Amino acid sequence: METGNKSAISEFLLLGLTDDPALQPLVFSLFLSIYLVTVLGNLLIVLAVSSDSHLHTPMYFFLCNLSFVDVCISSTTIPQMLVSIQTQDQSISYAGCLAQVCFVLVFAGVENFLLASMAYDRFVAICHPLRYTVIMNPRLCVLLVLFSFFISTVDALLHSLMLLRLSFCTRQEIPHFFCELDRVTELACSDTLVNHVLVYVTAGIFAGVPFAGIIFSYVHIVSSVLRTASSGGKQKAFSTCGSHLSVVSLFYGTVFGVYISSSMTDSQRSTAVASVMYSVVPQMLNPFIYSLRNRDMKGALRRLLGRTASLL
């Protein structure tokens, strides 16, 4: 194959998390269970919010969209891995790999912006309670969600188009269970400087700005709550933010943890295993965090399950 020929490669090989055949059935069972729990848990959240009029508020509107995005992220990565293990075929087409890169970036970006929108919602509810219904009106909520999808799609398409300009030669093996942007870029045999610069610039803008917005919101929330004279008011205010803070900590904590671990080890396979913590685990745990820590959500889920049981 000639170096620099963009048509020289038609597929990549996803090496997965382990090359030990004895561990493949365990990995398959584990990820199948994780995927089923993720889909079932998040779909229950979506159905509960949609069917219960008590939950037709901005906070649960954003939560419903977050659960939908969690299902999409998991469905973009895990099924491909399960098929590869079951069929013993690690190949993924060039177009399929780029599509996977694009969709992962879209849904990860949307989740990032949704978490920021939810933080802003809590900020308005606690710091400006009298103006809450005016500020967080349905039109603004829909616009925030649409903006999240739009800006994340633009970012993902930008990275995908930059991948298209790269030349891939004989190195086809991706030491990961899905096509991650950095791993695919590393396989290119042409200059990737522009791609790496673009990654850092867009990460600073599309990830840094929402994260800064979350920090800004909670600094003001904590400041406002601490000025509250009533201890009961403080407890109520913090309880409304507890679930969101847990999800934010899980999402950003695992991302930063993987980044730190990847900088401390040269093993790409170890980094792939660590990346499970941000690409799979948060999406599975989010429904449990919101359902176990939220009285309204638990009530809605009980009513939903009760209606479902009465129909069977």
Q: How far is CA 191 from CA 141, 142, 162, 194, 233, in A?
A: 42, 41, 11, 8, 57
pLDDT at 257: 72
Q: What is the pLDDT of residue 6?
A: 46
pLDDT digits (tens, 9 = 90+) for 51-82: 888 888 999 999 999 999 999 999 999 999 99
pLDDT for the residue numbered 183: 87
Q: What is the chain's Cα-based Rg? A: 21
Residue 100, both tokens: 């996977």
Give per-residue pLDDT as tens, 149-185.
999 999 999 999 999 988 887 768 888 889 989 889 9
Give the pLDDT of residue 52: 83
The reported pLDDT for the residue numbered 18 is 78
Q: What is the pLDDT of residues 241-281, one digit of tens each?
A: 878 888 888 888 877 777 766 666 656 666 677 777 778 88
Q: Name the more confident of 144 and 277.
A: 144
- 7 pLDDT band, cuts 50/70/90, is very low
Average pLDDT, the chain: 85
> For a pLDDT cut of 90, what percent of the chain falls above it?
40
The pLDDT of 95-118, averaged and rounded, is 94
What is the mean pLDDT of the segment spanning 110-116? 94
> Hey, what are 142's tokens?
């829909």
pLDDT at 191: 86
Which residues touch 10 (CB under 8 Å, ≥6 apart)?
A: 93, 94
Q: Taking 80 as the threshold, does the pLDDT of residue 2 lie above it?
A: no
What is the separation of C-alpha 86 from the centre of its chain, rounded to a whole number of angstroms? 26
pLDDT at 15 over 60: yes
Instruction: Give the predicted TM-score (pTM) of the model.
Output: 0.88
Domains of the chain: 11-311 (1.20.1070.10)
- pLDDT tops 50 at residue 118: yes
